Amino acid sequence: MTEATTIFPSNPLSTAPTIHYQVAMPKPQSHLFEVTLQVKNWSKSILNLKMPVWTPGSYLIREYAKHLQDFWVDTGKDNRRHSLSWRKLSKNHWQIDTEDSAEITIHYRVFANELSVRTNHLDATHGYFNGAALFLFIPEWEKQPIQVTILPPKSDWRIVTPLPLIPGDINTFEAKDFDTLVDSPFEIGYHQLHEFEVQGKPHQLAIWGKGNANPNKMVEDIKKIIEVEAQLYGGLPYERYVFLLHLSSSGFGGLEHKNSCSLNYSRFGFRAKDKYNRFMQLVAHEFFHLWNIKRIRPKSLDKLNYEQENYTTSLWFCEGTTSYYDLIIPLRAGIYDAKTFLEGLSKDITRLQTTPGRLIQHLSECSFDTWIKLYRRDANSDNCQISYYLKGELVSLLLDLLIRKRHSNQRSIDDVMHLMWQQFGAWEIGFTPQHLRDAFESVADMDLSHFFHHYVDGTTELPFDEYLEPFGLKLIGIRDEEAPPYLGAIAKTEHGQDIIKFVEANSPARMAGIDPGDQLLAINGWRVTAEQLCDRLKDYQVDDTIEITVFHEDELRTLPVTLAQSPPTRYQIVQLENPTEDQKRNFAGWLG
C-alpha cells in the first residue's frame, strides 16, 4: 500500500475491458470468501475500484467494505506475475497503478458470518452472498458484462442463482451488468432443491437449514401465490425465478430481487397455522416486489448510486402497498380466510395506533428519512417516527376501500397496480410522486388532493370507521380490564439493574421527568423491579399521585407522577350489528 494520491480516469475508451470474478471458499469454517477479480484489456495507467455501501431493497448504509481484508494486486506483464502498487482513497475506494498492464488481477477476502438476507454467510454447510456485499465495481464500466466463476470447497456443494450459466464453462455465470450482479444472490452448498413450473415457466425453491417445514405443501401454496399475482398483472415478466430460503434459529426477513428473492425464517415456524401464514405473507410480499419496485420503481431509484443514500418519498407505496397485498394475496389464494385477514389487519392497526410517532412523522417523510431512522432505532423512536411498511399498508387499505365504494367494487387498487405496470413497470420507466397520485386519481375518478395532503403528506389520524362502514365493518378500541393506571414507561432488567427503556411522549412518566436510561428503584419508598412494575401500579387508581424513585445519571431522584387512564391496548375490526344489503355486497366484493 503506497501513499495516497487522487487520480481519476478520463472518459472510457471505446475498447471495453473484460471483467471476470472468481469466488472461492477453500476453508468455509473460516467464514472467508476468497475473491479474485481479473480485468483484461485494460488501457489506463490507473484502475479505480469501489465497493457498494448499501444494497437495493434495504435502505441503510451498511459499509460492506468493513468486511474486506487481505487486498493485493498483481499482473501478468511480460509473462511473469508481479505485484502492483495501490492505495486506498476512501472507505470503499481502492486505486491501482497498473504500470500500463492490460491484465490486472485483484485478490481480496471478505469475512462472512452474518446470516441475513442483505449480507453474506459462509460456514461448513453453505455459502450465501449478495453482490453488493461481495463485489467491487469499476467506475464508468458498471454497464459492462461480468462473469462469475464459483469454486465450491467440495464436489457435492450445489449452486443456485438467478444468473444464467454460461454453456460449456464449469460453474461460470454471466451478469449483463453490475446492477444485475448486485441483484442476483448466490446460494452454494448443501440445500434441498425443489423445482416446479407455473404458467410454463421454471421455478426453484432452495432450502438451506433444518426445521419443521413441509416443502411439498410449501411449494403448492407458493404456486397459488404466483398464480394470483400473475393474474393481477397479466403474466410473469421473467423466464425463471428462484426462491432462496434460509431456516435459522429466530430469523425473519426477505429481500426482493428482479428474478429471485431471499427469505429468512425461523426453522420451527411452520407447524403452527399463524406462523405458517406469516411465512406465506413473507413469500407473497417478496414475490410482489418483482413488479412493485423492481420494475415499477420510483424515478429516483432508476439509476442506483451504490456509494450513498438514494432518496425517495414513495417507499410507502413500494413497501406499504406491497404489505397490504401480502395480507390479501394469501386470502385470494385460499391459504386462509377472511376472518384471518381481518385479524391480521387488526393487529397492524393496533401497531400503528399504539405508536405515538404516527402524530409526528408523515408517510413521505418516513420514506425519505429511512436512511437515518427506520433501521437506526433508539429510545425515542416510537415517539417520533413510524414505519412506511405499516402506515403505507393502512393508507393503501383506505385507498382500496375508497375506490371500491365509489365504483361498487368494479374498480380497486388492483387497477392502480395494473395501470402503474402498463405505464411504467412494463417499460421500466421510473415514476414520480405525481405520477403515482395521478394513477390513483385516474382509477378513483376523483381529486385525491385532500386525501394525500392529510394521510400521505400529513399526520392526520386515519379515519378507519369512515372507510370501513360502507363494507359493514367498524374499528373498536379495547382496553385491558386488568390493566393498571397509565404510567407511560417500559422497564426491563439488564445486568441486574431495572432500566427504563422507553417513555412515551406526553405520558405521566414523561411529564414527571422520567427518562430512558434511568434506573428504576422504588414506588412510594418501596423497592420495585421491572417485573413487578405493572402489578404494583394496580394498587393505585387513575389520578392518584405516586412517588417514583430512580437513579438519573447516578443522581438519586424522587419524582411525583400523576397516573392517568390507560389507552386502548389493541384494536379490532368487527362487523356492524345489522349490515345493510349494500354493505354485505360491498364486503363480498372486497373479501369474497
Same domain for 198 and 184: no
| Residue 580 forms part of a structural domain | no
- State how far the Cα of 120 lies from the Cα of 267, in Å rounded to an integer: 19
**Burial level of 306, CB count in 10 A (0-12/13-18/19+)?**
buried
Strand partners, 187: 128, 160
C-alpha cell at 423: 405505464
Q: What is the pLDDT of residue 82?
A: 86
Strand partners, 86: 96
- State how far the Cα of 370 lies from the Cα of 432, in Å rounded to an integer: 18
| Residue 215 forms part of a structural domain | yes
| Residue 166 forms part of a structural domain | yes
Strand partners, 490: 502
Same domain for 451 and 310: yes
Provide the CATH number for the domain around residue 509: 2.30.42.10
Same domain for 111 and 197: no
The arithmetic mean of pLDDT across residues 206-226, rounded, is: 97
Q: What is the pLDDT of residue 81?
A: 78
Q: Three-state DSSP class for 550?
A: strand
Same domain for 545 and 433: no
Return the closest-CA partner of residue 288 out of 476, 154, 195, 417.
417
For residue 346, pLDDT over 70 is answered with: yes
Total count of domains within the chain: 4
Same domain for 222 and 297: no
Same domain for 506 and 548: yes
Helix (H) or strand (E) run with residue 172 in it: strand 172-175
Same domain for 449 and 331: yes
- State how far the Cα of 592 lies from the Cα of 588, in Å rounded to an integer: 4
Give the alpha-carbon dihedral of 4, 5, 6, 8, to 10 degrees.
-100
Provide the CATH number for the domain around residue 195: 3.30.2010.30
For residue 255, pLDDT over 80 is answered with: yes
| Residue 482 forms part of a structural domain | no
Distance set, CA 385 to CA 310, 355, 377 (Å): 20, 8, 9
CB 120 within 8 A of CB 130: yes
Q: What is the pLDDT of residue 466?
A: 98
Same domain for 253 and 112: no
- State how far the Cα of 291 lies from the Cα of 232, in Å rounded to an integer: 11
Distance between start and end Cα atoms, the chain: 67
Provide the CATH number for the domain around residue 449: 1.10.390.10
Q: Three-state DSSP class for 448?
A: coil
Determine the structural domain holding residue 557 and report its residue range.
489-562
Same domain for 384 and 430: yes
Amino acid at 27: K
C-alpha cell at 316: 410507502
Residue where a domain terminates, one of 130, 164, 189: 189
| Residue 477 forms part of a structural domain | no
Buried b (16+ CB within 10 A) or exposed e, 50-70: bbbbbbbbbbbebebbebbee
Task: Please write the tens of the pLDDT for every residue from 475-527.
Answer: 999 998 888 999 999 999 999 999 999 999 999 999 999 999 999 999 999 99
Return the closest-CA partner of residue 110 out of 88, 85, 132, 126.
132
Same domain for 257 and 162: no
Task: Please write the tens of the pLDDT for every residue from 376-394.
Answer: 999 999 999 999 999 999 9
- State how far the Cα of 553 lies from the Cα of 531, in Å rounded to an integer: 22
| Residue 9 forms part of a structural domain | no
Q: How confident is the model at residue 14 (pLDDT cuts 50, 70, 90)?
A: low
CB 295 within 8 A of CB 237: yes
| Residue 240 forms part of a structural domain | yes
Q: What is the pLDDT of residue 5?
A: 43
Same domain for 359 and 245: no
Task: Please write the tens of the pLDDT for every residue from 163-174.
Answer: 999 999 999 999
Residue where a domain terminates, one of 427, 443, 472: 472
For residue 93, pLDDT over 90 is answered with: yes
Same domain for 195 and 176: no
Provide the residue count of the chain: 592
| Residue 247 forms part of a structural domain | yes
Q: Phi and psi at residue 340, in whole multiples of 5°?
A: -65, -40
**Burial level of 551, CB count in 10 A (0-12/13-18/19+)?**
middle
The arithmetic mean of pLDDT across residues 432-441, rounded, is: 98
